[in-house]
Structure 1
C-alpha cells in the first residue's frame, strides 16, 4: 500500500509554523539562485541582441573591443571595396566607418563619474542597426556638433537628456534626440557624426568598421580575404559574436559569485530542512508505528517522508521564484570588464531558468529529507508502537 499524497500535505499543514520557517529559508536560497541566473541571462541577451547576424565587425588584429582598435583610412578603403558587402537601395555599399571613445560623465544627482561610450557613426550607421529607433527629437545633422543619446544614458547621466548640452572633446555638444535600442548594449551609448568626433578627439584612424553582408554564407570568404591580405592587419567577426565575446568576463564573474552564494546558502537551507524533518520523525514515532502495523511497508514510509520534504522544497522554490520574477522590472548597470564602460541591462526570466530553479529546489528537498526519511523507515514496529 502507498501512503496518499493528501496525507503528506496534511502533515505539513499540521505543522504550519515550522513548515513556514523552513519554506522561507528554502525560498531565500532559491531567490538568490534564480536572481543570479536571471542576471547572467540578462547580460548575455543584452550583448547578443546588440548585433545583427548579417552584420560584420572589422577591428584591428588581436583587439578585443572597439576602444582598443584602430583602422587607418587606407585599410578601411580596402575593406569597403570588398564584393561581399551588400548594396543599399541607392546602389551604395552598406558599411559604416566608426570611431569609439570613452568619456567620463557624472550621474544625475551625483558627483561620481562613470565611463560612457561615444560612438561616431557614418551616414549608414543607423540603417545598419534596425533594432535602433529614434523615440524623441531628431537625428543629428552631419557636420554639426550634435549627438543622440541612448534611453538608458539619458535617464542616468547629467546633461544627456534631450535639449541638454554635454562637454567633451573640447567642444559643446547638443543632445538633439533620444533612441531606443531594444534593451541592447547600444542603449548605453551616445552617437554622433564620426567626421566631427574624430578631430574633436584628435583621432586620425577609425576604431572599427561595420558592414552588411549581401549573403550570410559569404562570411567565411570575407574573413579569409581580409585576414590573409598582406596589406591588412585586421580581424573579422560577426557582430553578434563580437559583442557576445565581450560578455564572457563579466558573465563568468557573475556565475562564480552566484555559485558560491548559492552553495553556501543551500547548505544552510538543507541543514534546516534536515532538522525540520528529523523533528517531524521524532514527534511522529507512534504514528509511524501505527502505519507499519496497518500494513504499510518501509519503502512507503520512506517515500512519504521524502515526498513531504520535496513538497516543502517545491513550495519554497515556487515562492522564491515568484520573488525573483519581480526583479524583471528592475534595471541594473555595471562596468563592462572588456570596454570599461557602464553597461545597463535587466534581469531576464526564461522557461529554462524556471525549470533549473525548480530542479534545484527538488535537489535540496531530497538531500535534506533523505536521512530523516531513512530513519523513519527503519524504526522497528514494536519500539514505535511503545511510544503511542
Structure 2
C-alpha cells in the first residue's frame, strides 16, 4: 500500500510539472471550463437574486386576499362589500385607533422607459390607502416626501430609479391620460416593493376608471396562526369565497415560477457548452499522454503499476478543471454579483433585483467543472494505464 501511494505521488508530480510543456492546450481547456462555469453561475445568480428579492418581501403575519383562482394581483378583483366583510373577520390586528389593519389596494400596469435599451416596459402603479405602508416592513422615504392624499402625486421605489428614466424626484410622468408628479423616493429593504410606484388609492381608481373594486386586500394578523381562522371565515361566507394566503407564501410562489424558468434556460445552455469544454479536455489529456509516452513506459518498466498511471492522468485533468472552475466562479462574482437587472415577475411587470452569487452556487459551478474534468480525463487515463511498454519506448 505504501509503495502504491509513493508511486501515485511520483506520477502526479511528474504530470503536473509537465503542464508548462503543453501550456496553450492546457490554457484553452482552463478557459473553456471557466466560460462554462461563468454561464451557469450567471443564470443561477440571477435566479437567486430574483428569488431573494421576491420571496424576502412577504411576512408570515400579513395575509393577502385575492379573488378565487387568481395567481397574481393583476387577475384579481375584490368588491367594496367584500372588503367590509374582511375587515370584520377574525384574527385581524387593530391599530391604536381601534380600526382593523386592512389595506385595500389597486394594482395597474403603466409604461416606463428602460435606461439600458430606451424601450418601454411594464411597471406597476399601486394605489394604496393610509394603512398600506404600515403593512410592509422596512418602508422609509429616502428622498423627498410621501404623496399627499387627493393629489396626482407619486412616490417611486428606489429599485425602479436604477433601471428606468423619467421617474426621478421632481419629474413629471404621464401614465394613461394623467400627469403625475414624483414627490418622493422610498426604500423597502431591497424587497419587490422597491420595484413599484405608489399613489393615493382613490386617485388611481378614478384615473383608471375602477371606482367600484380593488384587486387585493392586505391584512395584518394578530399572529401567523390566525391565518387559518381568516381562511375558514372566507370559505364559509358565500359572499366572500376569496383566496386567503400568507404574504410570504404568495411571494414564494411567484418567485419559484420565474426562478425556475431562469434556471431552465441556464442549465441547458451550460450543459451544451460543457460538451465543447469536454472535447477540449479530451484533446488536452490525450496530448498529455502522448507527450509523456516515454515517461509512462519507463515508469512501467521499473515497476510502476497501471493504477498510478491511471489516477495520475485523472488528477491532472481535475487540476486543470478546478483552476477553470475557480476562475469562472471568481469572474462571475466580480462581474455579476450585485449587478442590477430587471425581469418579469408574476404580475408581468418589471421587477428590479440584484444578481446574488452565494457560496453554495459557486460550489455548484466548481462541481460542474470537476465533472467535465473527470469525464475529460477518464479515457486518456485508460489509454495511459493500458499503454504497452514497448509502444511507449518506441519499440
Q: TM-score range by the shorter chain?
A: over 0.9
**How far off is 1:194 after superposition?**
0.9
Partner of 1:358: 366
Partner of 1:220: 228
Superposition pairs of residues 1-388 of structure 1, within 5 angstroms:
1-2=4-5, 3-4=8-9, 5-108=12-115, 112-203=119-210, 204-326=212-334, 327-336=336-345, 338-386=346-394
For 2:69 and 2:392, locate their aligned partners in 1 and report how far apart those are by CA, in whole Å. Answer: 72
Deviates more, 1:351-360 or 1:166-175: 166-175
**Contact conserved, 1:132 with 1:179, CA < 8 A, in 2?**
yes
What is the Cα-based RMSD across aligned positions, in Å?
A: 1.8
**How far off is 1:107 after superposition?**
3.6
For 2:189 and 2:36, locate their aligned partners in 1 and report how far apart those are by CA, in whole Å. Answer: 32
Deviates more, 1:123-132 or 1:3-12: 3-12
Deviates more, 1:167-176 or 1:309-318: 167-176
For 2:133 and 2:50, locate their aligned partners in 1 and report how far apart those are by CA, in whole Å. Answer: 23
Question: Deviation digits for residues 23-74 of structure 1, max 9, x if unmatched?
Answer: 0011011111111111111111111012122211101111111111110011
**How far off is 1:109 after superposition?**
8.6
For 2:230 and 2:222, locate their aligned partners in 1 and report how far apart those are by CA, in whole Å. Answer: 11
> What is the aligned residue count?
386
For 1:107 and 1:34, locate their aligned partners in 2 and report how far apart those are by CA, in whole Å. Answer: 25
Change (3 A) 1:219 1:109: closer
**How far off is 1:286 after superposition?**
0.7
**How far off is 1:172 after superposition?**
2.2
Question: Deviation digits for residues 299-341 of structure 1, max 9, x if unmatched?
Answer: 11111100000011000000011111120132111233x3221
Change (3 A) 1:255 1:172: same
**Contact conserved, 2:322 with 2:370, CA < 8 A, in 1?**
yes
For 2:116 and 2:369, locate their aligned partners in 1 and report how far apart those are by CA, in whole Å. Answer: 42
For 2:343 and 2:269, locate their aligned partners in 1 and report how far apart those are by CA, in whole Å. Answer: 19
**Contact conserved, 2:162 with 2:340, CA < 8 A, in 1?**
no
Deviates more, 1:307-316 or 1:141-150: 141-150
User: Structure 1: which 5+ residue stretches go unaligned?
Assistant: none
For 1:373 and 1:321, locate their aligned partners in 2 and report how far apart those are by CA, in whole Å. Answer: 27
**Contact conserved, 2:90 with 2:233, CA < 8 A, in 1?**
no
Question: Deviation digits for residues 359-378 of structure 1, max 9, x if unmatched?
Answer: 11111111111000011011
**Contact conserved, 2:163 with 2:352, CA < 8 A, in 1?**
no
**How far off is 1:111 after superposition?**
5.8
With normalisation by structure 2, the TM-score equals 0.93
Question: Deviation digits for residues 85-121 of structure 1, max 9, x if unmatched?
Answer: 1223443322211110111133459763211100011
With normalisation by structure 1, the TM-score equals 0.94
**Contact conserved, 1:227 with 1:236, CA < 8 A, in 2?**
no
Deviates more, 1:224-233 or 1:191-200: 224-233
Question: Deviation digits for residues 203-226 of structure 1, max 9, x if unmatched?
Answer: 120110111111112222221221
Deviates more, 1:320-329 or 1:108-117: 108-117
**How far off is 1:354 after superposition?**
1.6
Change (3 A) 1:155 1:256: closer
Q: Secondary structure at the match of 1:76?
A: helix
Deviates more, 1:306-315 or 1:211-220: 211-220
For 2:382 and 2:36, locate their aligned partners in 1 and report how far apart those are by CA, in whole Å. Answer: 25
